[in-house]
């Protein structure tokens, strides 16, 4: 939801016009990086026996890439973002596996 406020119509900027582009871009990127670990922690709460704890820990650690958005200049965000999009793709496949596995076991 936070990312939606920052993209497209830029609703957040309409409500807070004093926010700079750099701040909103950092918030947008941070929401992408943090969203994946939060989603998998949610899945873990729903299906605790389906998610491997080691994989969940790895996803959380990879989510820490988002911390770089707080310190790096915005011109350097592109490389970690491209890498993380690949990670999100792999996590999406794993999440689909978890959901199908949970459905088949019920």
With 50 as the cut, is the pLDDT of residue 17 above it?
A: yes
Q: What's the pLDDT at 32?
A: 83
Burial 66-95 (b: 16+ CB within 10 A, else e): bebbeeeeeeebeebbeebeebbeebeebb
Is residue 9 very low, low, confident or very high in pLDDT (cuts 50, 70, 90)? low
- The whole-model pTM stands at 0.75
Q: Where are the domains of the chain?
A: 2-105
Whose CA is closest to 72, among 20, 30, 16? 30
Contact 37, 63 (CB under 8 A): yes
Give percent of the chain above pLDDT 90: 34
pLDDT in tens, 63-101: 887 777 778 887 776 677 788 888 899 999 999 999 999
């Amino acid at each position: 939801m936070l990312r939606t406020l920052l993209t497209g119509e830029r609703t957040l900027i309409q409500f807070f016009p004093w926010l700079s582009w750099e701040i909103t871009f950092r918030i947008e990127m941070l929401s992408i990086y943090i969203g994946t670990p939060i989603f998998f922690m949610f899945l873990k709460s729903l299906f605790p026996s389906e998610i491997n704890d080691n994989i969940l820990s790895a996803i959380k650690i990879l989510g820490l890439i988002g911390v770089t958005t707080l310190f790096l200049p915005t011109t350097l965000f592109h490389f970690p973002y491209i890498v993380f999009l690949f990670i999100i793709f792999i996590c999406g496949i794993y999440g689909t596996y978890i959901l199908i596995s949970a459905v088949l076991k019920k």
